[in-house]
Structure 1
Amino acid sequence: MIIYGASGHAKVIIDIIESTSHHAIDMILDDNPEIHSIMGKPVKHSMPEKGDDFSFVIAVGNNVVRKEIVDRNNFQYSEALVHNKAIVNRNVVIGEGSVVMAGAVINPSSKVGSHAIINTNAIIDHDVKVADFCHISPGAVITGNVKIAEGTQIGAGASILPGVNIGKWCTIGAGSVILKDIPDYAVVVGNPGRIIKYNKSEE
């Protein structure tokens, strides 16, 4: 497996991989020539000649950048990577390239899309739908029957109440409490959550 990106987020992905015996790290790849190692592992700056022989995981925390990398490359992506200290119900579906950190909980009948991040100690309750390229930050609580559209960031410690729909490419601030549906591109903060502005687009 190739880890694409050598940022702090890559350190957590390395930890996920090392927590299980299902995968091995073949290479860490980064575009920045000034980064030579991460967690004692060498970082390369050019694709192997037979790159299509490897599966990839994108180790970039920014949702927009992660999508841009996926859109411009024809990589074969890994199955979801799940830390051995995460709790994921057996009927949960998680898309390719997604990562689930230590302490996260994903309860029955939930679905997580591709290239999503379920971060440390995040809780996703039953029947939740998390779309592609989302990031559920550490300690966030997503209660039952919530739907979160593509590219949305749920901040650390935020809480989303049952049945709420959150639009695409939204930003939900850390610690916010969301009581009602949120439209596409909204930036929301506070308890109860209020819209303070809109992201221009996913670009």
Structure 2
Amino acid sequence: MGQSQPLVLLGAGGHAKVLLSLAQAAGRAIIGVCDPLLVKQGVQCWRGIPVVGGDDALLQMDRAKVGLINGIGQLVQGNLRQRVFQRHLDLGFQFPVMVHPAAWVDPSATLGQGVQVMAGAVIQADVMIGNNCIVNTRAAIDHDCRLESHIHIAPGATLCGSVHVESGAFIGCGANIIQGLRIGHDSVVGAGATLVRNLSAHQILLGAAPRTKTSPFE
């Protein structure tokens, strides 16, 4: 997808606000925002961007000429962001990679469709990142890390070299992942935690020791 192609932003929450700023800083044209709640409220313009309606309005657009930005934030145990991405992908839409001009991405890194890299983030040599991932503000991903799809690396988190993160995992704000570890799918590393050994699927790490998840609200 060309860098000059116009884009429609999906969602109008906090994450969407940050993405709108990213797109504007990168010189990308946002021609509309799609959010059912705005439509229900009768809002016609959001942060200076026209509200184009819901999915019905998107279906009238030329998929070859208009790209989408997934503005749905990723929450712990929430898969709405993933569902929105996959539904529109199946409809034939494309999601461009979005990188803030103030981020650093090594030329050898590989970023999948719809990856979002926020201001101050650093992605080092030979990193591989799958589809629909967020590398949030000031996050750092060191050499040879592999991230599968639908992962959120929250602001200020650090992944040392050769970390493997499986699909759907959530790495909280300011978390630190020691080199060479594996984080299982749909697991959570809590804010400020330091991971020093592998984390199995569906586990939460709070502090320094992993435990099985019992509630998304813990």
TM-score, normalised with respect to structure 1: 0.91
1:43 corresponds to 2:51:
yes
- Which amino acid in 2 is paired with 1:58? N
User: Cα offset for 1:178?
Assistant: 0.2
User: What pairs with 1:166-185 in structure 2 (closer than 5 Å)?
Assistant: 166-185=183-202
Partner of 1:109: helix, strand, or coil?
A: coil
1:34 corresponds to 2:34:
no
- Which amino acid in 1 is paired with 2:205? V
- Equivalenced residue count is 198
1:61 corresponds to 2:78:
no
When structure 1 is superposed on structure 2, of 105-114 and 47-56 the one drifting more is 47-56
Question: Match of 2:14?
Answer: 8
Structure 1 stretches of 4+ with a deviation exceeding 4 A read: none
Identity over the aligned pairs, expressed in percent?
A: 30
- CA 1:195–1:167 in structure 2 vs 1: closer, same or farther (change >3 Å)? same
1:125 corresponds to 2:130:
no
Partner of 1:26: helix, strand, or coil?
A: strand
- Which amino acid in 2 is paired with 1:139? G
- CA 1:198–1:167 in structure 2 vs 1: closer, same or farther (change >3 Å)? farther
Unaligned runs of 5+ in 2: 1-6
TM-score, normalised with respect to structure 2: 0.85
User: What pairs with 1:1-203 in structure 2 (closer than 5 Å)?
Assistant: 1-21=7-27, 23-32=28-37, 33-34=40-41, 36=43, 37-46=45-54, 47-48=57-58, 49-52=60-63, 53-62=65-74, 64-73=79-88, 74-190=91-207, 192-197=208-213
- Which amino acid in 2 is paired with 1:102? A
Q: CA RMSD in A?
A: 1.7
- CA 1:76–1:120 in structure 2 vs 1: closer, same or farther (change >3 Å)? same
Partner of 1:3: helix, strand, or coil?
A: strand
Q: 2:70–2:95: 8 Å Cα contact kept in structure 1?
A: no
Partner of 1:194: helix, strand, or coil?
A: strand
1:3-50 CA deviation, whole Å, 9 max, x = no partner? Answer: 1111110011111111113x2111110111227243232323232422
- Which amino acid in 2 is paired with 1:45? G
- CA 1:195–1:51 in structure 2 vs 1: closer, same or farther (change >3 Å)? farther
